[in-house]
Amino acid sequence: MSEFTPQKELILISPSGGHWFIRLVFLFFTKKDIPLSLVILSALTPRHYKIKIFNQKLFWFKKDFPSEALVGITCLTSNAPAGYRLARRFKQAGCRVVMGGPHVGALPQEALQYCDSVVVGEAESVWGEVVKDFENNSLQKIYRGQPLEDFFSPVFEYCMGLDDAMLKRLRISTSRGCKYRCEFCSHRNLWPRYLKIGQTIPLIKRMKQTAPGVSFFEEPSAAPINFEDDNIFSDPAYAKKLFQALIPLKIEWGSQASVDIAFDEEALDLARQSGCKQIFIGFETIHPQNLPKASANKIVSVEDYLQGIRNIRARKINVIGAFILGFDDYTHKDYFKMLLFLMRSFVRGRLFWISLTILTPYPGSQLFERLKKEGRIKTVRWDKYDALFHVVFKPKNMSAFSLMMWYSMIRVFSVPFSSLGVMVIAICFLLPLAIWFLIALVLSRPF
């Protein structure tokens, strides 16, 4: 006779927080996705748990707070305050709350003011213990997850067994960590590890079955399969093997990669053949010589960037270029140069789009520690750490206001030159004009 195990409840949450505009955008574009961390926690949870997942839920009602459940909340910095508010409400209702993710991992003591336990680091090695301790009513304050070399095996079978509706919402990455150590990156201490290609390929085949015809217009934020790696080109040899293995699947995909991919002809050819449609590249600065990852690849000026963009575009792969404003070596003159460079890269390099962000010292990054030591952190109101609408530190060569002005100016004046900008302008202005013309033509009955 099998032993009876009472059903328990696990509630997993990625909170909606930060600037209202970001919340709105995520509500429309990412609400239906399930953050990978929450898929992993579900996979590692014993099967007798009933699991509910909430991503970017805007409104919470009394009925959403049961009197007894295990609650897991994942937090970045900008949505940490929202996560803390939820943690408090679940605790008040009688639940046990465990938090994890980059922000609380960097500041566990802060998070412990609101929740029962914090997982610092990766969950794979400790979540089983957390669940057991919850059942025995003996949750510890801090669990330290050790990064596993083979981090995906405990999750693989679970993902393969997901039903089509869930698979459609799955976000995956083929690696974890990155070979570089950028000062501003809150992930800089993670050494790179990779999924086994023998697992990636069957999983993607399954995912492809669920979304055979997704087009750019249905998923405008990304290519149909977006590999959410920190850097899919962390190990060029692995990346090439992966691209090769993807070719027979005939999928379309996008991902983030470091700038060195732009100068590896073999990798670009394989990427193209394997269906790569879009690469997000962190160029970061117009002074590449000051950025260790660029200088490591002998990239000495923005002309090299332009060449890199052209190399990728030659394979009909869109490039989204990421630039950060606010580095210490920037003066007013440099921002003007940046504006001109972006316009040039849109027109001459056919850069598809840019991701412009304001330098933000995320807790856990080396930048945060340095600026704290220099007394340059202006606020620790984490909801302002959105990198888009707030300057949360004192820039070196100008006021925070001037930096914000340059940021707005560069965005407004450069974006209309981008391929996507041109498309949007065409749709917004030319299409209504064309429709109006057609209606006028029909009404005047020329035929």
Among 10, 53, 95, 99, binds ligand B12 (CB under 6 A): 99
Decide: residue 57, CB within 10 A, 0-12 exposed, 13-18 middle, 19+ buried.
Answer: middle
Other residues' Cβ atoms within 10 Å of the Cβ of residue 333 = 9
Residues 359-378 that bind ligand B12 (CB under 6 A): 362
* Choice from 116, 133, 230, 284 touching ligand B12 (CB under 6 A): 230
Query: Using an 8 Å Cβ cutoff, are 184 and 361 in contact?
Result: yes
Distant-in-sequence, close-in-space partners of 20: CB < 8 Å, separation ≥ 6: none
- Which listed option, ligand B12, ligand SF4, none, makes contact with residue 91 (CB within 5 to 8 Å by class)? none
Instruction: Say which entry of ligand B12, ligand SF4, none residue 119 contacts (CB below 5 to 8 A, set by partner kind).
Output: ligand B12
Among 214, 388, 405, 420, binds ligand B12 (CB under 6 A): 388
Task: Judge whether 102 and 73 are in contact, CB under 8 Å.
Answer: no
72's contact among ligand SF4, ligand B12, none, with CB below 5 to 8 A by partner kind, is: ligand B12
Contact 136/111 with Cβ under 8 angstroms? no
By CB under 6 A, is residue 100 in contact with ligand B12?
Answer: yes
Helix H, strand E, coil C: the string for 128-190 is HHHHHHHHCCCCCCEEEECCCCCCCHHHHHHHHCCCHHHHHCECECCEECCCCCCCCCCCCCC
Say if CB 232 and CB 241 are below 8 A apart.
Answer: no
Q: Does 8 bind ligand SF4 (CB under 6 A)?
A: no
What residue 293 binds from ligand SF4, ligand B12, none (CB within 5 to 8 A, per partner kind)? Answer: ligand SF4
Candidates 134, 180, 327, 406; binder of ligand SF4 (CB under 6 A) is 180
Q: In angstroms, what is the minimal distance from the CB of 426 to ligand B12?
A: 26
Binding positions for ligand SF4, 281-340, rule CB under 6 A:
282, 293
- Picking from 240, 222, 224, the residue whose alpha carbon sits closest to that of residue 232 is 240
The two beta strands, 70-74 and 49-55, are unpaired
Binding test (CB under 6 A) with ligand B12, winner from 43, 95, 98, 276? 98
- The residue from 38, 111, 182, 203 that contacts ligand SF4 (CB under 6 A) is 182
Give the span between the Cα atoms of 180 and 169, in whole angstroms: 30
**What is the Cα–Cα distance from 60 to 91, expressed in whole angstroms?**
14
Contact 99, 118 (CB under 8 A): yes
Verify binding: residue 77, ligand B12, rule CB under 6 A.
yes
Smallest gap, in angstroms, from Cβ of residue 346 to ligand SF4? 23
What's the CA gap between 137 and 118, in Å, rounded? 15
Cβ proximity to ligand SF4, 200 vs 255, nearer residue: 255
Footprint of ligand B12 (CB under 6 A): 14, 17-18, 22, 26, 30, 35-37, 40-41, 72-74, 76-79, 98-103, 105, 119, 122-124, 127, 173, 185-187, 228, 230, 357, 362, 386-388
Footprint of ligand SF4 (CB under 6 A): 178, 180-182, 185, 187-188, 230-231, 258, 282, 293
